[in-house]
Amino acid sequence: MIPRLELAQGIVISRLIKGGWHLAGDHGDVDPDQAIRDMVAFVDAGITTFDCADIYTGVEELIGRFRREHPGHAARLRVHTKFVPDLDELAVVDRSYVERIVERSLERLGVERLDLVQFHWWDHSVARYVEVALELDRLRRAGKIDGIGVTNFGIVELRQLLDAGVPVLTHQLQYSLLDDRPEHGMVELCRSRGIALLAYGTVAGGFLSDRWLGTPSPAEPLGNRSLVKYRLIIDEFGGWPLFQELLVALRHVAERHGCDIATVATRVMLDRPGVAAAIVGATGTSHLDAHSRVGSLVLDGEDRALIEAVTRRRKGPPGDVYTLERDREGPHGRIMKYALNR
């Protein structure tokens, strides 16, 4: 029941992607043995694309262990990792740096070629991202990388990569009913250039779920970094009262279809133009049954009207993709960790 999509010739992904951020810490203790068992369950359920990063501490190694211990499952797996140079090293990233990080990911994952490397650059005022992306493309042509993507790039900067000839296959970005910044020009740019969108934050770290319906705004400290991050997005959207109205609308839709709020919120985003997949940051397998409903859920005009009656009253977030997060003095930027690639 998990839908699949061909991104390019011979490159097929599941339209739900298992996220890996929660396995890197900041979301509670991680039991590696249980994490491996969970990976088996996800692949068995049809979620055969995993997302990780060079800066997600220990996650590439964990997926590498899964591949060694479960070769039959690994044969069905596609792994998307990232290339994220530390903020204080952007000015000195060179060919040897790029090669070292890519070789390290290859070793950690236990593969000869990386399926997809998604490029993130913390500070666009350090204008070396084009030459660094071209180094990644050189490694693609050398057979070390199958595909190149970007994550959290702005419209201007993505155009510069494309004009330089970087063959960008995907753009991983934050996109949800609470955060429509990709619709401020990025969706159209990517559609015009054949770039598939991989949406993260589609359930806002779990806020877009039945768990939060009818509850007061949570007091600090919040339970994990996802909740901290997406609570800020709720404020940008219009605050807790408007967010509660959205949950009520989603619950009405969910009741019509016999599913839960998170399933509806995910399906809405999969139906958005250009969205190839949604990344689900599941901390375990408890929601696999709900995930399996996403492929068969068909929303109609009445469903969409109920939701849009609330979302059209949004206040924000404003600007281009990731603009708020790039302000390191603002609330969105202050929670980021900029030096995890040592």
- pLDDT tens digits along 265-290: 999 999 999 999 999 987 778 888 99
Cβ(167)–Cβ(133) under 8 Å? Answer: no
The answer for residues whose C-beta is within 8 angstroms of residue 184's C-beta and 6 or more apart is: 319, 320, 321
Instruction: Provide the whole-model pTM.
Output: 0.97
User: Could you give the CA distance from residue 323 to residue 325 in angstroms, rounded to a whole number?
Assistant: 5
Q: How far apart are the first and last CA of the chain?
A: 40
Q: Does 4-334 carry CATH code 3.20.20.100?
A: yes
One pLDDT digit (tens) per residue for the chain, 342 residues: 799 999 998 899 999 999 998 888 766 788 999 999 999 999 999 999 999 999 998 999 999 999 999 999 999 999 999 999 999 999 999 999 999 999 999 999 999 999 999 999 999 999 999 999 999 999 999 999 999 999 999 999 999 999 999 999 999 999 999 999 999 999 999 999 999 999 999 999 999 999 999 999 999 888 788 999 999 999 999 999 999 999 999 999 999 999 999 999 999 999 999 999 999 987 778 888 999 899 999 999 999 999 999 999 999 999 999 999 999 999 999 999 999 998
Question: H-helix or E-strand containing 16?
Answer: strand 16-18
> 185-191 long-range contacts, Cβ below 8 Å, gap at least 24?
185/155, 185/320, 186/155, 186/158, 186/320, 186/321, 187/272, 187/273, 187/274, 189/155, 189/158, 189/159, 190/158, 190/274, 191/273, 191/274
